[in-house]
């Protein structure tokens, strides 16, 4: 069996600022094929696939955020990776850059397997063929986007636009897309304009996580089985009623002003905690003045005193009048 080619690409951007786009791809390609020696795709094709032809000779530090994310994908694809793990593929990017990243990932779906972790449900809906929903470390559901929406979605809603304009609300809810389609055809044949609201992955996530919380509250392990999920749904309304009844009995603490003594005490405690965690910095701040004072004291002792200082000292001790030291101006006048 041929050796699998894998690479993990995380959300943090790590580059060499002085190296160009081409050099980054070359380095990762050399590392990738070091064991097998087989290059499945050349560097130029990887750079072109990631839409970096215009920046092929540009340094990494001159690239924008979206271009750096493209370079990260190019580094992951270099050498012909058969499996790529991408963490947060489009986090922190503007909508246009996100779409570009999605297009790049979708282009290579026929040549490589891509495992993506993301918090954006729309990103999972667009890119993933198979979706696994994790919540608090537990697998709550998995399947294709269509299967999850059919099983856990809120159904299809059809609303009549004409009735909304007249102030009346007419809407229908259907469990399957086939039923919703038949209703839309019926409304269109009656020359009515309708709006269709279809289930989303956000609804799926909110429902399965809500069921998971309810199941855990009644003693479940967080895994949504058929029996456990049904029990949680049946008892969900009871839990909500208990929470609403208990919310009226909340006792909030009354805010009190903090006195000066307590503020000083808190500051001393903060200093003590900082001293325990970084005592070396405080030791240096204490040692520098002591060392400087010792050096100055040693050199001051070695200084020779002026004769005039001895004369003035003797005059002070004997009580005689002090001698006037001629100034520079008087000497110049003489």
User: Quick check: is 138 in a domain?
Assistant: no
Q: Are residues 175 and 233 in the same domain?
A: yes
Pairing of strands 83-87, 113-117: parallel
pLDDT at 273 over 60: yes
User: Quick check: is 245 in a domain?
Assistant: no
pLDDT at 228: 47
Q: Are residues 203 and 310 in the same domain?
A: no
Other beta carbons less than 10 A from residue 58's beta carbon:
15
User: Quick check: is 246 in a domain?
Assistant: no
| Contact assessment for residue 52 and residue 84, using Cβ atoms and an 8 Å cutoff | no
Q: What is the DSSP secondary structure assignment for residue 175, as one 8-state letter?
A: S
- Say how many domains are in the chain: 3
Q: Distance of alpha carbon 43 from its chain centroid, rounded?
A: 30
Please give the Cα distance from 16 to 60 (Å, whole number): 7
pLDDT at 252: 56
pLDDT at 45: 86
Question: Nearest-CA neighbor of 151 among 227, 222, 205, 213?
Answer: 205
Q: Are residues 119 and 210 in the same domain?
A: no
Phi (first) and psi of residue 150, to 5 degrees: -70, -35
Please tell me which of 128-132, 239-243, 306-310, 325-329 the model is most confident about, judged by mean pLDDT: 128-132
pLDDT at 313 over 50: yes
pLDDT at 32: 78
pLDDT at 224 over 50: no
Q: Are residues 21 and 107 in the same domain?
A: yes
Please give the Cα distance from 320 to 322 (Å, whole number): 6
pLDDT at 268 over 60: yes
pLDDT at 140 over 50: yes
pLDDT at 314: 66
pLDDT at 288: 92
User: Quick check: is 252 in a domain?
Assistant: no
How much is the CA Rg of the chain, to the nearest whole Å?
A: 38
Average pLDDT over residues 18-22: 88
Q: Are residues 10 and 123 in the same domain?
A: yes
Please give the Cα distance from 178 to 327 (Å, whole number): 112
Please give the Cα distance from 49 to 67 (Å, whole number): 13
| More reliable by pLDDT, 69 or 5 | 69
pLDDT at 177: 77
pLDDT at 245 over 50: no
| More reliable by pLDDT, 272 or 334 | 272
User: Quick check: is 255 in a domain?
Assistant: no
Q: Are residues 122 and 168 in the same domain?
A: no
Average pLDDT over residues 115-122: 88
pLDDT at 51 over 60: yes
Q: Are residues 156 and 217 in the same domain?
A: yes
Please give the Cα distance from 254 to 275 (Å, whole number): 33
Nearest 5°: the CA angle 49, 124, 11 is 65
Please give the Cα distance from 100 to 98 (Å, whole number): 5
Instruction: Identify the domain boundary among 238, 273, 305.
Output: 238
Residue spans of alpha helices (H) in the chain: 21-32, 43-49, 65-77, 95-107, 121-127, 145-152, 161-165, 177-189, 201-217, 226-247, 260-277, 279-302, 307-318, 328-333
Give the DSSP H or E segment for 197.
strand 194-197
Q: Are residues 32 and 109 in the same domain?
A: yes
pLDDT at 130: 92
User: Quick check: is 253 in a domain?
Assistant: no
Average pLDDT over residues 278-300: 85
Instruction: Identify the domain boundary among 128, 159, 190.
Output: 128
Q: Are residues 199 and 233 in the same domain?
A: yes
User: Quick check: is 254 in a domain?
Assistant: no
| More reliable by pLDDT, 87 or 320 | 87
Tokens of 258: 């903090």
Instruction: Identify the domain boundary among 204, 238, 272.
Output: 238
Please give the Cα distance from 309 to 155 (Å, whole number): 102
Please give the Cα distance from 276 to 205 (Å, whole number): 45
pLDDT at 106 over 60: yes
User: Quick check: is 98 in a domain?
Assistant: yes
Please give the Cα distance from 320 to 305 (Å, whole number): 21
pLDDT at 76 over 80: yes
pLDDT at 334 over 60: no
pLDDT at 42 over 70: yes
Please give the Cα distance from 211 to 228 (Å, whole number): 9
Q: What is the CATH number of the domain that holds 94?
A: 3.40.50.300
Q: Are residues 199 and 120 in the same domain?
A: no
Q: Are residues 57 and 17 in the same domain?
A: yes
Tokens 């399947």, located at residue = 143
3-state SS, one letter per residue, for 121-161: HHHHHHHCCCEEEEECCEEEEEECHHHHHHHHCCCEEEEEH
Q: Are residues 10 and 124 in the same domain?
A: yes
pLDDT at 168: 65
pLDDT at 221: 46
pLDDT at 113 over 80: yes
Average pLDDT over residues 209-230: 53
pLDDT at 274: 80
157-177 residue pLDDT tens: 888 776 555 666 677 888 777
| More reliable by pLDDT, 53 or 214 | 53
Q: Is the dihedral of CA 106, 108, 113, 116 positive or negative?
A: negative
- Give the residue numbers spanning the domain of 219: 149-238
Give the confidence band of 213 by pLDDT, cuts at 50, 70, 90.
Answer: low
Percent of the chain, pLDDT > 90?
1
């Amino acid at each position: 069996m041929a050796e699998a080619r894998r690479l993990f690409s995380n959300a943090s951007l790590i580059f060499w600022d002085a190296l160009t786009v081409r050099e980054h791809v070359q380095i990762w390609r050399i590392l990738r094929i070091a064991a097998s020696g087989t290059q499945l795709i050349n560097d130029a094709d990887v750079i072109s696939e990631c839409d970096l032809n215009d920046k092929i000779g540009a340094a990494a530090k001159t690239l924008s955020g979206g271009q750096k994310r493209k370079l990260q994908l190019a580094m992951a694809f270099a050498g012909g990776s058969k499996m790529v793990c991408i963490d947060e593929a489009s986090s922190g990017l503007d909508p246009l850059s996100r779409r570009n990243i999605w297009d790049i990932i979708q282009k290579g779906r026929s040549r490589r397997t891509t495992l993506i972790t993301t918090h954006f449900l729309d990103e999972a809906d667009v890119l993933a063929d198979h979706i696994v929903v994790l919540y608090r470390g537990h697998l709550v559901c998995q399947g294709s986007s269509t299967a999850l929406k059919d099983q856990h979605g809120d159904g299809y809603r059809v609303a009549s636009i004409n009735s909304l304009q007249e102030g009346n609300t007419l809407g229908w809810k259907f469990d399957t897309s086939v039923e919703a389609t038949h209703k839309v055809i019926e409304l269109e044949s009656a020359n009515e304009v309708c709006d269709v609201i279809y289930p989303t992955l956000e609804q799926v996530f909110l429902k399965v996580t809500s069921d998971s919380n309810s199941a855990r509250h009644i003693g479940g392990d967080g895994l949504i089985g058929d029996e456990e999920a049904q029990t949680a749904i049946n008892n969900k309304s009871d839990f909500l009623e208990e929470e609403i009844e208990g919310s009226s009995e909340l006792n909030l603490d009354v805010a009190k002003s903090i006195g000066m003594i307590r503020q000083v005490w808190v500051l001393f405690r903060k200093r003590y905690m900082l001293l325990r965690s970084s005592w070396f910095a405080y030791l240096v701040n204490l040692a520098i003045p002591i060392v400087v004072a010792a050096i100055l004291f040693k050199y001051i002792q070695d200084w020779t005193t002026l004769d005039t200082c001895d004369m003035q000292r003797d005059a002070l001790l004997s009580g005689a009048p002090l001698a006037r030291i001629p100034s520079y101006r008087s000497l110049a006048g003489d």
